[in-house]
């Protein structure tokens, strides 16, 4: 009988405790971990991405951490191809592999596949990033509403990556971004996917987020941001943890205000992550302390799949 393969996908909001939890799972199954965090790929981004240290990785092999330079262009489509290729190799040695992250688009890319999108014309991404920094996100949202009202009505207008991505497709192809999204069907995978969601009570989660931001600042987040100023137009830096401190360095507001915004925007980001993931009916939710229950759930799912 052909050996069944299982990808255990662990998702959840920032600071919920995915890293420690997944290290426990990986040690139990004696397997390896794929990161699906869209910013932890980049070697130059460490503190602001909450990248797990070697100690936090606990001796477990982690893939797609420090795998690229911020000077390289890397997106969800490229990640999908690379991750599927890697999984082919990993499943030769392991029947269970762990994948984890809070970047919904990258989770979808690995689990379902992405729509076929047109090539982006040279210079468009750079020009949009320049306009985002100079004119602000609302101006780009307004342009998206003109070019693709259907997608503009459903996109998170506070997420610069999604707005810029949609605009670059519109401007490169001359067609609405939504027209390409409707063409693709979910792609089949030759492995079973078991989805686990981690969450905590809102006050507990928000306290952890606030504490994480304070620890990042103590660890030198501001110094990291200063060193990234030459790359601030990069999409990976148009996100919480970096934009607030870039604005502080520009003199837009005080350091105290930057810290307040850093914490507030991180809490809002966590709320958006939960909104994205709770739409997926295949995710089974647990508290991070429920590792025993999660193992029982995974084993039951594995048994059900093998009996079919």
CA distance 19 to 258: 27
Identify the pLDDT of residue 182.
Answer: 58
Residue with tokens 């998170």: 156
264 band by pLDDT with thresholds 50, 70 and 90: very high
100 DSSP assignment? E
Is the pLDDT reported for residue 186 higher than 60?
no
Q: CB burial class (10 A; 0-12, 13-18, 19+) of residue 304?
A: exposed
The pair of three-digit structure tokens given for residue 224, joined into one six-digit string: 């990291």
* Predicted TM-score (pTM) of this structure: 0.82
Cα 258 to its chain centre, rounded Å, is 23
Is the pLDDT reported for residue 86 higher than 90?
yes
> In order of start, what are the domains of the chain with their CATH numbers?
6-114+185-307 (3.40.50.300), 124-181 (1.10.20.140)
2 band by pLDDT with thresholds 50, 70 and 90: low
Contact predicate 267/209, CB 8 Å: yes
Q: Which helix (H) or strand (E) holds 141?
A: helix 137-147
45 band by pLDDT with thresholds 50, 70 and 90: very high
| Mean per-residue pLDDT, 16-28 | 97
- Which comes out higher in pLDDT, residue 182 or 40? 40
46 band by pLDDT with thresholds 50, 70 and 90: very high
CA distance 253 to 258: 7
Cα 125 to its chain centre, rounded Å, is 20
Pairing relation of β-strands 62-63 and 6-11?
unpaired
158 band by pLDDT with thresholds 50, 70 and 90: confident
DSSP conformation letters of 114-142: ----PPPPTTHHHHHHHHHHHH-HHHHHH
């Amino acid at each position: 009988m052909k050996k069944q393969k299982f990808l255990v996908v662990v998702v959840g909001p920032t600071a919920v405790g995915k890293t420690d939890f997944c290290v426990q799972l990986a040690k139990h199954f004696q397997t390896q971990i794929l990161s699906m965090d869209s910013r932890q790929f980049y070697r130059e981004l460490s503190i602001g991405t909450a990248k797990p240290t070697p100690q936090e990785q606990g001796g477990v092999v982690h893939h797609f951490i420090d795998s690229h330079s911020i000077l390289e262009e890397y997106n969800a489509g490229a990640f999908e191809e690379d991750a599927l290729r890697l999984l082919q190799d990993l499943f030769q040695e392991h029947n269970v592999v762990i994948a984890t992250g809070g970047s919904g688009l990258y989770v979808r890319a690995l689990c379902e596949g992405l729509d076929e999108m047109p090539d982006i014309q040279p210079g468009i991404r750079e020009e949009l990033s320049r306009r985002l920094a100079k004119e602000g996100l609302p101006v780009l949202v307004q342009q998206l509403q003109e070019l693709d009202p259907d997608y503009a009505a459903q996109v998170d207008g506070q997420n610069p990556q999604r707005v810029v991505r949609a605009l670059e497709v519109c401007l490169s192809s001359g067609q609405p971004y939504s027209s390409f999204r409707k063409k693709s069907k979910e792609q089949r995978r030759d492995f079973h996917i078991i989805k686990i969601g981690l969450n905590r009570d809102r006050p507990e989660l928000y306290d952890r987020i606030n504490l994480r931001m304070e620890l990042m600042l103590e660890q030198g987040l501001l110094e990291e941001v200063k060193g990234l100023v030459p790359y601030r137009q990069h999409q990976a830096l148009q996100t919480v943890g970096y934009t607030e401190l870039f604005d502080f360095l520009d003199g837009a507001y005080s350091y105290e205000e930057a810290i307040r915004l850093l914490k507030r925007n991180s809490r809002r980001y966590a709320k958006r992550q939960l909104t994205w993931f709770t739409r997926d009916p295949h995710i089974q939710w647990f508290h991070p302390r429920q590792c025993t229950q999660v193992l029982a759930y995974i084993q039951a799912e594995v048994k059900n799949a093998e009996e079919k």
